[in-house]
Amino acid sequence: MQISEKLTINPWLICLLMTIFSVTLGMLWIFSSASTSPVIQIIIPLLLSANIALLGGLWLHFHHLSSQSNDESSRDQGSVDIEKPPKAQSNVTKRHSLNELKAKQLFKNKNAQELVQKEVQTSEPLLEAVLESAAVAIYAIDDKGKCIFANPLCAQLLGYSSPEQLLNFNIHELIYQSSASTEMAVPLGNGEVKEDIFWRADGSSFPVDYKSQPLALKGNKNGAVISFYDNSERRDAEALIRHQAHYDTLTELPNRFLALKRLEQLVEASERNGQMLAVIFLDLDDFKKINDSLGHEAGDQLLISASKRLLNATRAEDTVGRLGGDEFIILLDGLSSASDAQPLAENLIGGFRKPFYIDNRQLVLTASIGIAIYPNDGLTPSELLRNADSAMYHTKSIGRNTYSYFTHAMNKEVSRRLAIEEQIHGALERGELQAHFQIQLDIRDGSIMGAEALLRWNNPALGNVSPAEFIPIAEQTGVIEPMGEFILTRALEAARIWQNKFNDNFRVAINLSPRQFRNPNLVQSITDQVNTFGMRPEDLELEITEGVLLSGHAYTLDALKQLSDAGFCISMDDFGTGYSSLSYLRTYPFEILKIDRSFISDMNKDGKSNELIIATIEMAHALGIRVIAEGVETQEQLDELSFMMCDYAQGFLISKPVPFDELLEIGIHYKEIHENLATQENPIPLTAM
């Protein structure tokens, strides 16, 4: 039997059992010695003696066999390790045992792998389940390109109802639609993923990522296993990311990155073919007011409509891009002269004169355009864009709603502007700003009724900077607010000193900018400053420019009314220029109206200017408003204004803007000046003293 063959007898275990049996018989014999039974007195001693004899014989036999085995082992080891020291023999024994263990382990692993492979190869249902549940499409071809296997996902992606429809067909003719541009056999790859286009049964195509591996077939033939998946979603996502990176999300026009990239390409092409290139920089005028008044949604709709008009006005080969905000760029190539860009510029300006219709509102929006020409105005994209931008800002400075070609004078103008922007920050802290004062004269009696405080800036790098240059920049950068506080302090200080030294009727005037009216604490700040110097509100005149009134914000009207109710004198500056409206005189609490210097300079040259001045003075007086004439430079002008019943005069004839120390010197000679003006004889200009 197989079981008996597998059992092994341990001799020492037999000896132990026999020893236990002998001890048991001996104890039984001792405890039963008092018995008179012949069985116990004869049989037990005989069994005990026989068992002891047998045990002794077995022990001698097994001990002899063990001694022989040890001798044979010693002889074998001695024959192998002869002439080696004991330590070396031990190491060799250990390595020999380790090699035997490794050999046995490798043999077991190899047998286990062969067994698993055999089980897998014979388990066709398992393979089919794995392939059919795979998340990728898989098919196999033989050496002739015929399909020998396809899983259900492969048939589904290729537009077939079942894998059986693909079997025994040249699958590459199916997925490539017999395209001549694609090889009929997929080259056996090294497992790298490649991209391609496959065709469905209905004739539609789709992008795939595929990988091919060699397949060994019977008869030393080679086939291939190809796995693939539809990567349409990934490609669509990549295309969306590329589109968002290169196109404006609102207008769908090329963004700054793509527009500048195309400009680089056009510059290179123009350099090769020797033709000119026009860079047109377009900015929407007063677009911020649309956002502020109607909201950003209306502003977005306006930008979309504006971009459509730009596209309609340009050629298909021209590039129209949005640089950001309300700034657009148009690139025209293939020009033979700089004047070739003029028709498009005029067309763009004319197109923006038509009203826009946003949310049942009719909006009129104009545009300012700057043009730079390659290679006349620059050789690099950045230089062309910068110069076109300079030309656009020049357009805004001359009235907007038109276009300008770049000139090198504009470049100097832009450089000057940038330098002013750089230096104006910190000018107040560096002590570069000063307050100058220009006297205002009462024409009726020749007395000095006040002075206008004017800001002057002298910079070590720029020299004397005109207020016409730095005031607009200060307004845009926000520096105008601390400047306004500075001039207010100096004006109140000068008025207090003048009143203490000369007369109490002296009044000082300062200008308030549009940006200052955005400060909700403007009224309180002015009131606190007046109280700090111990002055009266009527000692301060606040001049309002047209820019403050054009906004039409409610907080502007509220602030002016609060200042007027507090006793401050409100005057309208530069009346008669820009968009000055007579309704302002009715809406706002003006006490003084200042006629612009342009009318005064022409009063002796043009009879119409005289009539306008007379009409303005009479209208103002009818409304209870006093009149100051600015820019009075001759005695003849002063005499004419006196005849026209103008109230006050201000100009170089009376005094140039001077520092406060010189203003005090003028005050000392007040009586002499007053007497000279009163006699209407040759007046002594204050600047000559």
List all residues 6 or more positions away from 79 whose beta carbon is below 8 Å from its beta carbon: none
Handedness of CA 236, 240, 243, 249 (dihedral sign): positive
Residues β-bridged to residue 363 = 356
- Beta strand ranges found along 125-181 (DSSP E): 137-141, 147-150
Closest CA to 511 of 464, 466, 476, 546: 546
Structure tokens at 328: 């657009």
* Stretch (H or E) spanning 186: none
pLDDT value, residue 567: 92
Confidence category of residue 85, pLDDT binned at 50, 70, 90? very low
Q: What is the pLDDT of residues 489-520, one digit of tens each?
A: 999 999 999 998 887 789 999 999 888 888 88
The per-type count for the chain, helices as H runs and strands as E runs, is 25, 22
pLDDT value, residue 625: 93
What is the spatial distance between Cα 676 and Cα 318, in angstroms, rounded to a whole number?
71
| Chain mean pLDDT for the chain | 80
Contact yes or no for 617/609 (Cβ under 8 A): no
Confidence category of residue 401, pLDDT binned at 50, 70, 90? confident
Instruction: Over range 241-248, report the average pLDDT.
Output: 85
List all residues 6 or more positions away from 136 whose beta carbon is below 8 Å from its beta carbon: 153, 227, 228, 229
Q: Is the pLDDT of residue 458 over 90?
A: yes
pLDDT value, residue 324: 87
Closest CA to 459 of 445, 469, 451, 449: 469
Give me the residue label for tokens 């400053």.
Answer: 529
Q: What letter represents residue 651's amino acid?
A: G
What is the spatial distance between Cα 610 and Cα 299, in angstroms, rounded to a whole number?
45
Q: Is the pLDDT of residue 246 over 80?
A: yes
Q: What letter represents residue 249's amino acid?
A: T
Q: Is the pLDDT of residue 79 over 50?
A: no
Give me the residue label for tokens 């004169």.
Answer: 353
Contact yes or no for 571/532 (Cβ under 8 A): no
What is the spatial distance between Cα 129 and Cα 414, in angstroms, rounded to a whole number?
75
For the chain, the residue count is: 689
Q: Is the pLDDT of residue 89 over 60?
A: no
Q: Is the backbone peptide bond immediately before 375 cis, with ω within 30 degrees of 0?
A: yes
The residue with greater pLDDT, 667 or 613, is 613
pLDDT value, residue 92: 43
What is the spatial distance between Cα 198 and Cα 332, in angstroms, rounded to a whole number?
41
Question: In the sheet that 194-199 helps form, which strands lie side by side, from edge to edge?
Answer: 147-150, 137-141, 221-230, 205-217, 194-199
pLDDT value, residue 520: 87
Q: What is the pLDDT of residues 600-641, one digit of tens each?
A: 888 877 778 888 899 999 999 999 999 999 999 999 999 999
Q: What is the pLDDT of residues 294-306, one digit of tens each?
A: 788 888 888 999 9
Q: Is the pLDDT of residue 177 over 90?
A: no
This prediction's pTM: 0.54
Contact yes or no for 535/492 (Cβ under 8 A): yes
Work out the percent of the chain whose per-residue pLDDT is above 90: 29
Q: Is the pLDDT of residue 111 over 70?
A: no
User: How would you class 621 by CB atoms within 10 Å of its CB: exposed for 0-12, middle for 13-18, buried for 19 or more?
Assistant: middle
Q: Is the pLDDT of residue 651 over 90?
A: yes
List all residues 6 or more positions away from 170 whose beta carbon is below 8 Å from its beta carbon: 144, 145, 146, 147, 184
Cα 501–chain centre separation? 61
The residue with greater pLDDT, 131 or 36, is 131
Among 197-206, 217-226, 353-362, 589-598, name the most confident range. Answer: 589-598
What is the spatial distance between Cα 142 and Cα 206, in angstroms, rounded to a whole number?
25
Q: What letter represents residue 275's amino acid?
A: Q
pLDDT value, residue 657: 94
pLDDT value, residue 427: 93
- Beta strand ranges found along 506-565 (DSSP E): 507-512, 540-544
Among 84-93, 117-126, 395-404, 610-619, name the one with the lowest average pLDDT. 84-93
The residue with greater pLDDT, 41 or 321, is 321
Give me the residue label for tokens 């000068």.
Answer: 494
User: How would you class 537 by CB atoms within 10 Å of its CB: exposed for 0-12, middle for 13-18, buried for 19 or more?
Assistant: middle
User: How would you class 146 by CB atoms within 10 Å of its CB: exposed for 0-12, middle for 13-18, buried for 19 or more?
Assistant: middle
The residue with greater pLDDT, 358 or 71, is 358
Give me the residue label for tokens 């009224």.
Answer: 523
Q: What is the pLDDT of residues 534-584, one digit of tens each?
A: 999 999 999 987 767 766 567 788 888 999 999 999 998 888 765 556 777
